[in-house]
Chains A and B, each alone.
Chain A
């Protein structure tokens, strides 16, 4: 059974039209991560939540926002998608940031911007 679920699997949006990607987890993990992965590149961390504590990477554009209304759900909002934002977006969870806990990834959402 899937433990980290991302919806939708594929998302097509228009240039400049706000889009929201969602991630839910059944693991009750404290930490939720959002990664952006462009073709043939490594996943790049955008931000993560430790419980309600939001941690933004210094080089994450302001165009990207996130919300975590409760432990189970986390959303990635792209306010004005550009062509360069087309990528696979990966959500991951882990029990803690420290202590060597494993991170579990969702199936990803492939975003296309037209």
Chain B
């Protein structure tokens, strides 16, 4: 059974700091997704990573994929309050499975 593990589950950051969220998975899939979810809202797609070594950046967020290590990272640079949300990674095999999510709080 496909397992997707995220850490940390909770992250409190000061504005301006950098941090990385990790996503480990158990299958040989090379398709990994990152989503953002605000409280009470649905999931917003952030990144789609489709191959080993894929790196994508959007604003202060950068995602990478290492399929050999079965690891994806979401790096936050110079965090701002607007980035406060829950971030999920998801791995696609025959269907799509989510990690537990990382609840990020960025404090002034």
Contacts and interface: CB of A to CB of B under 8 A. Distances in A.
B31 to A, nearest CB: 4
Interface in A93-107: 94, 97-98, 100, 102-107
B45 A100 contact: no
A97 B45 contact: no
A40 B97 CA distance: 16
B96 interface: yes
User: Chain A, interface size: which category?
Assistant: 20 to 34
A43 B45 contact: no
Interface of A is mostly: strand
Interface stretch (B12-20, B55-63, B76-84, B98-106): B98-106
25 contacts: A33-B96, A40-B103, A41-B100, A42-B98, A42-B101, A43-B43, A43-B88, A45-B95, A45-B96, A48-B95, A90-B42, A90-B43, A92-B43, A98-B92, A100-B31, A100-B48, A100-B50, A102-B33, A102-B48, A103-B33, A104-B45, A105-B43, A106-B42, A107-B41, A108-B42
Given A43-B98, A106-B42, A110-B40, 6 more contacts: A42-B98, A92-B96, A94-B96, A97-B94, A105-B45, A108-B42
Interface of A: 33, 40-45, 48, 55, 88, 90, 92, 94, 97-98, 100, 102-108, 110
